[in-house]
Amino acid sequence: MSALALMDISKRFGKQTVLEDVSFDVAPGEIVALVGSSGAGKSTILKIAAGIERPTSGTVLIGGQDVARRRAWKRQTAMVFESYVLYPLLSVRENIAFPLRAPAVRARYSDAEVDRRVLEIAQICQIDDLLERRPLELSGGQRQRVALCRALVRDPAAYLMDEPIAHLDAKLRHWLRGELRRLLSAREVPTIWVTPDGVESMAIADRIAVLVDRKIVQLGTPREIYGSPATIGVARLLGDLGMNILDARTEEGGGLVLDGAEHQPLFVSNGSGRLPAGPAKVGIRPAALRLRSEPGPTAIAAEVIGTESGSRQSVVIVRVGADQSTKVVAEKGELPQVGQRVYIDWEHAPVHVFSPEGGRRSTGRVHGGSNEAG
């Protein structure tokens, strides 16, 4: 049984639609990440689940019960906002313990139990040495962790987290993702985790709901969504360097030619039938391409226009065909010069072919010969 379900949720403010038919459910102990760019509607979904906003239509179920008419504080959800408010006159310890002292739950927790919980969660968030301080004495990142602790100290019906680790440094985010993931999956409570960061969503979530223009365009495990993104919008959101999206056309017979480039057609091997002839968009991850110094059946001429260093590799930005820029992952030591002519090799690379409107048509691996197509 799902512990939290949103069914056919729509939300309009006057004439403006901010959510359209959003449906998904979250199982006990499951983390569902809501990913999308700013303005996609992520925070509105969270507020509707919490009861801070009312949906224009649709149903919210928590623990199997319709809570549409239940006020926010009666829903027993624990929420972390990106912009959090702490009680300035209370110590960090008192701030974190606050939800356990509320009249409705006070009787449930002994003082010793409150202390134990506060300390446990403060240790996980690495602020256990700050418990006697006041919020104003803390840095922004420390305050964000106090707010996080205050939500996690409770036993709510659902955790609703809006960019809970957004403003922390990379090292702390890495630590907290692991700790929170373990903590939350052990608690038999559903979690919605909102983030604009596709990479964070892959690392933290059991399933991801990708929100583009007010709608959920894809819902699935990180592996499903990374492996077969439903649209170009989804493909762009997930993955370290972002996917290269290139304009191309499909010729009769299924071969792909990049716009403005002269090369032998590339064929995509898969079982999903021939691609329709005409304009298309091709998506390929920077790590799937290879930089070559010689042409080949699947290697396309390009000009180096920029270089970036990465920690485990370098990235070469090339211009190919009709002024299309593409990133190619290269070995650390092999940075070419800007202006240099190179060839980018597509052989065996996994690619996605999208319609000009951005819907995925096919996913497969590239090869140079036509006989295997279809």
Residues that bind other proteins (CB under 8 A): 37-38, 139, 169-171, 174-175, 177-178, 181-182, 196-199, 202-204, 222-223, 226, 236-242, 285, 287, 305-312, 314-315, 317, 325, 327, 331-334, 338
Q: How far is the CB of 99 from other proteins (least distance, A)?
A: 25
In terms of CB distance, is 141 or 374 closer to other proteins? 141
In terms of CB distance, is 42 or 47 closer to other proteins? 42
Q: How far is the CB of 102 from other proteins (least distance, A)?
A: 30
In terms of CB distance, is 176 or 257 closer to other proteins? 176
In terms of CB distance, is 116 or 332 closer to other proteins? 332
Q: What is the 3-state secondary structure (H, E, C) of the chain?
A: CCCEEEEEEEEEECCEEEEEEEEEEECCCCEEEEECCCCCCHHHHHHHHHCCCCCCEEEEEECCEECCCCCHHHCCEEEECCCCCCCCCCCHHHHHHHHHHCCCCHHHCCHHHHHHHHHHHHHHCCCHHHCCCCHHHCCHHHHHHHHHHHHHCCCCCEEEEECCCCCCCHHHHHHHHHHHHHHHHCCCCCEEEEECCHHHHHHHCCEEEEEECCEEEEEECHHHHHHCCCEHHHHHHCCCCCCEEEEEEECCCCCEEECCCCCCCEEEECCCCCCCCEEEEEEECHHHCEEECCCECCEEEEEEEEEEECCCCEEEEEEECCCEEEEEEECCCCCCCCCCEEEEECCCCEEEEECCCCEEEEEEEEECCCCCCC
In terms of CB distance, is 281 or 285 closer to other proteins? 285
Q: How far is the CB of 73 from other proteins (least distance, A)?
A: 32
